[in-house]
Amino acid sequence: MGEEFYAIIKLISGEEIFSLVSVDDNDGETVVILQNPITVKSFVYNGNPLLKVKPWVELSDEDIFVIRFDKIITMTESKNKKLIEVYHNYLDDNDDDSSVYNTSGKVSVSQKMGYISSVEDARKKLEEIFKDLKES
């Protein structure tokens, strides 16, 4: 098996995949081994550039896929640190089938991080609780 590297692959079907790959010669036939392949779509929401990341094969529980070399139009090694970071963040975030990442590197606060309400809303709720305790 060859050396592993991150690559962007364009298939003859038109799909674009990002994955950690290695190239192997299997009985005289060249194959590409994909580890956790994903598809990445970029879009802009509220003026922010975002990336939507999904598994390449959404219904499979497998992590490794093999593609024959003749099914690939082009493959290029990617050393884009942000894209590799998004890839690893997606892999670490296994509880979702797809994820959205801000390409600027800024992280939005979410309920997953513990965000429940704004400071103003929390202050009002705490004041109400305090008033109720005083009145009891």
Q: pLDDT tens-digit profile of 23-76? A: 988 788 889 999 999 998 888 888 888 888 899 998 888 999 999 999 999 999
State the residue range of the domain holding 106: 5-135
Average of pLDDT values for 109-119?
Answer: 66
Q: Judge whether residue 98 has pLDDT over 60.
A: no
Q: What is the pLDDT of residue 42?
A: 86
pLDDT bin (cut points 50, 70, 90) of residue 103 is: low
Which residues on adjacent β-strands are paired with residue 32? 23, 67
Instruction: Report the number of distinct structural domains present in the chain.
Output: 1
CATH label of the domain that carries residue 67 = 2.30.30.100
Q: What is the pLDDT of residue 27?
A: 80
Share of the chain above pLDDT 70, in %: 82
Which segments within the chain are labelled E, that is strand?
Answer: 5-11, 16-26, 29-45, 48-55, 64-68, 72-77, 99-102
Question: Shortest CA distance to 51 belongs to which of 79, 75, 19, 85?
Answer: 85
In degrees rounded to 5, what are phi and psi of residue 13?
-75, -10
Average of pLDDT values for 98-126?
Answer: 69
Q: What is the pLDDT of residue 56?
A: 93
Q: What are the angstrom distances between the C-alpha of 19 and each of 28, 45, 90?
A: 24, 25, 12
Q: What is the pLDDT of residue 49?
A: 84
Share of the chain above pLDDT 90, in %: 35
Average of pLDDT values for 113-131?
Answer: 81
